Amino acid sequence: MTSVAGRVRSAGPLVSRIAAALFGGYALAALASVAVLALPISRPQAVLTGEMASFLVYAAAVIWVFAVRSALRAWAGLLVVAAPLSLAAWSVW
């Protein structure tokens, strides 16, 4: 039992990072693709720019998540970037 609990505890940060990379990364990319609409360019161009840029944001987010020292920092980094993007996205939705 204790070994199971121990395993969970040691796997926890890794699972957390994987979740941050997969889902946090996608959420951040999606948010960025909407936030682009706040730029002063025409709607179709903004939509396409957002779509194209989103995969680079996603890839960068995943790299960030696995590059930093702890799972906590990984999440914190994503949130720090997400905050201004949310503001921009919220203004156009």
Partner 1 sequence: MSDLHTWVGLLLGWVLYAMFLTGTVSYFKDELSQWMRPELPAQSNVPDQAVVAQRVADELVALVPGSPQWSLRLPDARNNSVYAFWRTAGAAPGQRAFGEGNFDPATGQAVSSRATLGGDFFYRFHFQFHYMPVVWGRWIAGIAAMFMLVAIVSGVITHKKIFVDFFTFRWGKGQRSWLDAHNALSVFGLPFHAMITYTGLVTLMALYMPWGQQAGIKTAAERQQFNAELSAFIQPGKPSGEKAPLASIEDMVRQAQERWGRDGVGRVTATHPGDAAARVAVARGDGGRVSMSPQYLEFEGTTGRLLAVHEGVGPAAETRGVLYALHLGRFSDSVTRWLYFLVSLAGTAMVGTGLVMWTVKRRQKLPDPARPHVGFHVVERLNIASIAGLSVAMAAFLWANRLLPETLADRANWEIHGFFIVWALTLLHGVLRPAKRAWVEQLWLAAALLALLPVLNAATTQRPLWQSLADGDWVFVGMDLMCWALAALHAVLAVRTLRHQPKTRPARKPAPETVDRPAGGAVLREG
* Cα–Cα distance, 24 to 40 (Å, whole number): 27
**Helix axis angle, 71-92 to 2-19, nearest 10°:** 40
Q: How far is CA 33 from CA 27, 52, 67, in A?
A: 10, 8, 24
5 vs 77 by CB, closer to partner 1: 77
1 vs 86 by CB, closer to partner 1: 86
Minimum distance between the CB of residue 48 and partner 1, rounded to whole angstroms? 4
50 vs 77 by CB, closer to partner 1: 50
- Which residues contact partner 1 (rule: CB under 8 A)? 29-30, 33-34, 36-37, 41-52, 54-56, 58-59, 62-63, 66-67, 89, 92-93
Angle at 17 between CA 14 and CA 65, to 5 degrees: 130
Minimum distance between the CB of residue 14 and partner 1, rounded to whole angstroms? 10
Minimum distance between the CB of residue 68 and partner 1, rounded to whole angstroms? 11
**Helix axis angle, 71-92 to 43-67, nearest 10°:** 170
